[in-house]
Structure 1
Amino acid sequence: MAQIDEETSPTYDGYETIEFKREGDVLNVRFANPDSEMNVVNGRMHAELVRVFSELRNETAARVIVIHGSSRAFSAGGDFRWMREQNPATFKTLRNEGKQIVWNALDIEVPIVAAVSGPAIGLGATLALLCDVVVMSESATIADPHVAVGLVAGDGGAVLWPMLVGPIQAKRYLLTGESLTGAQAAEIGLVTECVADDQFDDAVARWARRLAKGAPLAISYTKLAVNQLIKQSMTTGFDYSTALEILTFASSDHAEALSAIEEKRKPNFEGK
């Protein structure tokens, strides 16, 4: 069992939407927004995602990090009420926080396993796909339906999906918002593995043990080398897609989408 070096490893104190538990060489990180059973990301959680991925860059005790969701969802994406609050005065903060989440996640040296046993939607999908191993249960789903609410997938999805499954498959899912089951996601190479629901916990633990028993420096440095490819694509695509997402935040189509959700009707998009 690894000894926790409290002088160098973060203590992860003061979080309200994220929980932490150490089990030997494994640091379990759980998204647990008390305001939402579906772990939707509101302003408070968004800020804590910035903080947690920054602090995880300095993790020195664990040999593997496992990121879990709640019992209902890994994360169902952005909180629609929070989206309604966005305006030109908040766009810069939103963009900067989104960029920090992605870049900090890619700089974490400890390997990360995403345990996806429920919906991973929008930003939730991006958070899962930024991990090094993604295990999904058969009943879980993954999707990036930014277009359904009149937005560009500017939180990383527009870059990650094409890198993982190629442009044609990525466009199929990003342009329609269509969701995939765990089995479908594994079949096209979007995620690492899909397992039966009753085997899910064992599969996640098996991946954690396998990575924890490996050569830490070799695994970490190999991960960083691979992530350089992702970062190069992010350098080109992330700022561009985020800028376009900000434009769509101010669009009439986005406002119409949120109104349609509240009124439980289909949106009428006009390209404005």
Structure 2
Amino acid sequence: MSYDDYTFLKVEPGKDRVLRITMNRPEKLNASGEIGHGEQGRIWREFDADPDMNVALITGAGRAFSAGGDLEAGNGPLATDMRDGRALVRNMIACRKPIVSAINGFAVGGGLAIALLADISIASEKAVLMDGHLKIGLAAGDHAALVWPLAIGMARAKYHLLMCDRISGREAAEMGLVARCVPHEDLLPTAEEIAVQLAAGPQFAIQGTKAALNDWYLHNIGIFEHSLYVEALSATLPDAEAGREAFRAGSTPEFPGAAHADAY
């Protein structure tokens, strides 16, 4: 299978049956933009259909894993953004084959969704994880309402998603948000070792185990759809506009919605 039409993603099929994927826009901290957002959704469907690849390993170029959406350029029309966001989450969950993420730096928004929806997530000690939707006036819709409570419990999920605190790679591993945290120089060798081991393993057993575990997500997929809806709706409101303007200006946003106690 050819992956030559990808531009945001650098996709390299290996003879060891590992598909190596790099989000490759380091000058923008691998923020996706409209084209990249679409590629982040469809790669999992094409990888799943590739008869020569058993495992995918994804990381980011440069010092970030992915800064999520490109707030300066935008991710395209709202309907397209919703479609691509739904494809990213649903296609990762539906993918039969294991996905390994090597979280090498900053991971936020849609980039964080990829990092945490991977079946095995390995973080560098230099990694910083944050679902920063609320900081720019958006509801947390990418993946978090579905994934975080199952991984770290409802109390911690609510705290981190509402407060938007930065979480180090070490903290993420200690609370169960990622599988492991390793020294930065060991990140790719560790992720590679895991991916190669999985690629050489019993594929029916591996894929069957993943499918059974992902039933936790599938049985609760309505939670994701609800969060996607409220994120899309929040993007149309004045709070989101204030958040985007403050981001561009490098200032702290003043949200008009703070004056409305019964907003939702």
Alpha-carbon offset, residue 180 of structure 1: 0.7
Where do 1:87-98 residues align within 5 Å? 90-98=77-85
State the alpha-carbon separation in 2 of the partners of residues 200 and 241 from structure 1.
Answer: 32
Question: Aligned match of 2:114 in 123, 127, 131?
Answer: 127
- Determine helix, strand or coil for the equivalent of 2:246: helix
State the alpha-carbon separation in 1 of the partners of residues 236 and 216 from structure 2.
Answer: 32
Deviations 1:114-173 (A, max 9, x none): 011111111111111111000111011111010000001111122111121111111111
Give the aligned residue type for 2:35: R
CA gap 1:37/1:80 in 2 versus in 1, 3 angstroms: closer
State the alpha-carbon separation in 1 of the partners of residues 189 and 48 from structure 2.
Answer: 27
- When structure 1 is superposed on structure 2, of 220-229 and 261-270 the one drifting more is 261-270
Structure 2 residue aligned with 1:115: 102
Structure 2 residue aligned with 1:198: 185
Unpaired stretches in structure 2, ≥5 consecutive residues: none
Aligned-residue sequence identity (percent) comes to 33
CA gap 1:91/1:198 in 2 versus in 1, 3 angstroms: closer
Contact residue 137 and residue 194 of structure 1 kept, 8 A:
yes
Structure 1 residue aligned with 2:87: 100
Alpha-carbon offset, residue 57 of structure 1: 2.0
Structure 1 residue aligned with 2:44: 53
Alpha-carbon offset, residue 242 of structure 1: 1.1
Contact residue 113 and residue 134 of structure 1 kept, 8 A:
yes
State the alpha-carbon separation in 2 of the partners of residues 46 and 159 from structure 1.
Answer: 20
Contact residue 42 and residue 78 of structure 1 kept, 8 A:
yes
Structure 1 residue aligned with 2:148: 161
Aligned pair count reads 257
State the alpha-carbon separation in 2 of the partners of residues 50 and 201 from structure 1.
Answer: 23
Question: Aligned match of 2:244 in 258, 262, 266?
Answer: 258
Alpha-carbon offset, residue 268 of structure 1: 0.8
Alpha-carbon offset, residue 33 of structure 1: 2.9
Unpaired stretches in structure 1, ≥5 consecutive residues: 1-9
Query: Is 1:75–2:75 an aligned residue pair?
Result: no
Deviations 1:171-218 (A, max 9, x none): 111001111111000000000100011222221122113212321110
Structure 1 residue aligned with 2:11: 20
TM-score (norm 2): 0.92
Structure 2 residue aligned with 1:32: 24
Contact residue 16 and residue 33 of structure 1 kept, 8 A:
no
